[in-house]
């Protein structure tokens, strides 16, 4: 399932049973964050992996959304873990000091998602 926003952000959700992989591409900013928030909101109790390898830009609104969702998800027994990130995303996570909160291994998604479309 792909969810495009008017500004070009796309979110593809790959359901592999226990874990969902969310592949996000485009710019994650004040204009597009509501699109990702709409996808994330019903997933708070689930284990989710976030692939931001194709996110070309992220601003404070995007970082705020991810950290807020991570805290809420963790509080209700779910999980949000960043498994891949573009250089632009990695840089902002490092600068803001939020990398530790979201990152697992910033390599490719889990093997159970490797063959997923």
Q: What pLDDT does residue 103 have? A: 79
Widest Cα–Cα separation across the chain: 34
What pLDDT digit, counting tens, does each position of 61-114 carry? 999 999 999 999 999 999 999 999 999 999 999 898 888 888 754 444 444 544
- Residues 3, 25 contacting (CB under 8 angstroms): no
The domain locations on the chain are 2-109
- Residues 85, 52 contacting (CB under 8 angstroms): yes
Q: Using pLDDT thresholds of 50, 70 and 90, give the confidence band for residue 33.
A: very high
CATH class as words, domain 2-109: alpha beta
Q: What pLDDT does residue 115 have? A: 44
Q: 0.85 cut: is pTM over it?
A: no
């Amino acid at each position: 399932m792909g969810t495009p926003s008017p500004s070009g952000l796309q979110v593809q959700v790959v359901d592999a049973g226990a874990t969902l992989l969310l592949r996000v591409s485009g710019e994650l900013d004040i204009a597009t964050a509501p699109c990702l928030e709409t996808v994330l909101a019903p997933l708070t109790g689930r284990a989710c992996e976030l692939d931001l390898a194709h996110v070309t830009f992220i601003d404070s609104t995007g970082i705020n959304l991810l950290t807020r969702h991570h805290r809420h998800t963790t509080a209700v027994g779910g999980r949000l873990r960043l498994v891949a990130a573009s250089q632009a995303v990695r840089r902002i996570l490092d600068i803001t000091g939020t990398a530790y909160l979201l990152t697992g291994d910033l390599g490719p998604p889990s093997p159970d998602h490797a063959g997923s479309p």
